[in-house]
């Protein structure tokens, strides 16, 4: 296991979110924003609800993962280096219904995302019970690479005349995206890049370590504000290609798990989350576990009583 350089621990701890990539059944790197918390033993904790269990299922099939800390929004950091972490992950079958064993993870989340505190008391908890049925993913880092702070991106290039690549309108709303690809061994690689629409797809920049190879790929865009609200994320799946001089992604599918942020999208997301949770339990012949609300409420109350500590 690679132990994080003490000089970088404060930087990693300050990041509110990171990009976490697992490998899909067909080998496509699937990247989503998440909150990761560093443990004292050097491992990283990532959790996911049963409603969005795909990353956990991917880990159980192929434990090769990577994380990229590249968006310092809300961290208070200036000129923050990007941190790229490769590693292996495990995810037990156990459904975790309380904060025990992950108190620091939840306290930090309640501090940094004040709105989340209302979901552990009525009436919020009546809608969000599914969210607190969690799977714990433990990542053991094998390499940590620092990259320069993200440079400001110039204005988005105009979309070329003629047919627009699938997802062009979506990606144009973000100054950059996170490209997920694979190296020669098949392990996932991440890099934040500008995307430029072209007739072939989206022109991208390869990773600075020159590890990426052509093959299945994805482009993640996401954003949040300083209080981890106004969240939005979307993924463009496709294929990474190169002609030796340039790299581009040919898009094949766009995934927006929570829609475009309209009220109707919110209700649809809640409905789909409950259904996905029920499906996960039914496939395993399990009754719905009872959320240990007292534990979550205690940590939310503790977080509300003190200022954000970063």
Q: State the Cα angle at 138 between 12 and 269, rounded to 5°.
A: 85
Of 167, 131, 170, nearest to 272 (Cα)?
131
CA 217 to chain centre: 15
Q: Is the pLDDT of residue 108 over 60?
A: yes
Report, as an integer, the average pLDDT of 216-223. Answer: 97
Residue 261 to residue 82: CA distance in whole angstroms: 28
In this structure, is the dihedral angle defined by the CA atoms of residues 34, 146, 39 and 60, taken in order, positive or negative? Answer: positive
268 CB-near residues (< 8 Å, 6+ apart): 259
* Residue 297, number of CB atoms within 10 A of its CB: 16
What was the pLDDT predicted at 122? 95
Whether the CB-CB separation of 202 and 196 falls below 8 Å is answered with yes
Per-residue pLDDT of 20-78, as tens digits, reads: 999 999 999 999 999 999 999 999 999 999 999 999 999 999 999 999 999 999 999 88
| DSSP β-ladder status, 177-182 and 29-34 | unpaired
Q: How confident is the model at residue 86 (pLDDT cuts 50, 70, 90)?
A: very high
294 CB-near residues (< 8 Å, 6+ apart): none
Of 64, 84, 68, 67, nearest to 24 (Cα)?
64
Q: How confident is the model at residue 2 (pLDDT cuts 50, 70, 90)?
A: low
DSSP 84: E
Question: Could you tell me the pTM of the whole model?
Answer: 0.94
Per-residue pLDDT of 172-201, as tens digits, reads: 999 999 999 999 999 999 999 999 999 999
Whether the CB-CB separation of 46 and 137 falls below 8 Å is answered with yes
Whether the CB-CB separation of 215 and 239 falls below 8 Å is answered with yes
């Amino acid at each position: 296991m690679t132990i994080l350089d003490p000089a970088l621990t404060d930087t990693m701890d300050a990041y509110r979110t990171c990009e976490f990539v697992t490998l899909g059944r067909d080998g496509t790197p699937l990247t989503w924003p998440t909150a990761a918390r560093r443990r004292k033993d050097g491992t990283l904790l990532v959790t996911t609800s049963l409603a969005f269990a795909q990353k956990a299922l991917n880990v159980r099939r192929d434990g090769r993962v990577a994380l990229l800390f590249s968006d310092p929004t809300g961290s208070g950091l200036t000129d923050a280096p990007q941190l790229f972490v490769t590693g292996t992950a495990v995810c037990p079958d156990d459904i975790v219904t309380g904060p025990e064993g992950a108190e620091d993870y939840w306290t930090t989340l309640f501090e940094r995302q004040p709105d989340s505190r209302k979901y552990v008391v009525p009436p919020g908890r009546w809608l969000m019970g599914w969210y607190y049925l969690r799977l714990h993913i433990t990542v053991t880092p094998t390499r940590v690479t620092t990259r320069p702070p993200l440079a400001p991106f110039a204005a988005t290039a105009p979309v070329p005349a003629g047919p627009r690549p699938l997802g062009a309108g979506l990606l144009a709303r973000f100054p950059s995206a996170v490209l997920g690809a694979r190296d020669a061994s098949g392990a996932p690689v991440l890099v934040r890049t500008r995307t430029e629409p072209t007739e072939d797809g989206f022109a991208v920049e390869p990773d600075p370590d020159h590890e990426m190879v052509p093959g299945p790929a994805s482009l993640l865009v996401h954003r949040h504000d300083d209080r981890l609200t106004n969240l939005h994320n979307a993924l463009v799946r496709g294929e990474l290609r190169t002609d030796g001089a340039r790299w581009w992604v040919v898009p094949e599918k766009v995934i927006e798990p929570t829609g475009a942020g309209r009220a109707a999208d919110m209700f649809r997301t809640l409905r789909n989350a409950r259904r996905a949770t029920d499906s996960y339990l039914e496939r395993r012949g399990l009754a719905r576990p009872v959320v240990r609300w007292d534990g979550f409420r205690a940590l939310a109350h503790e977080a509300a009583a003190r200022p954000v500590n970063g």
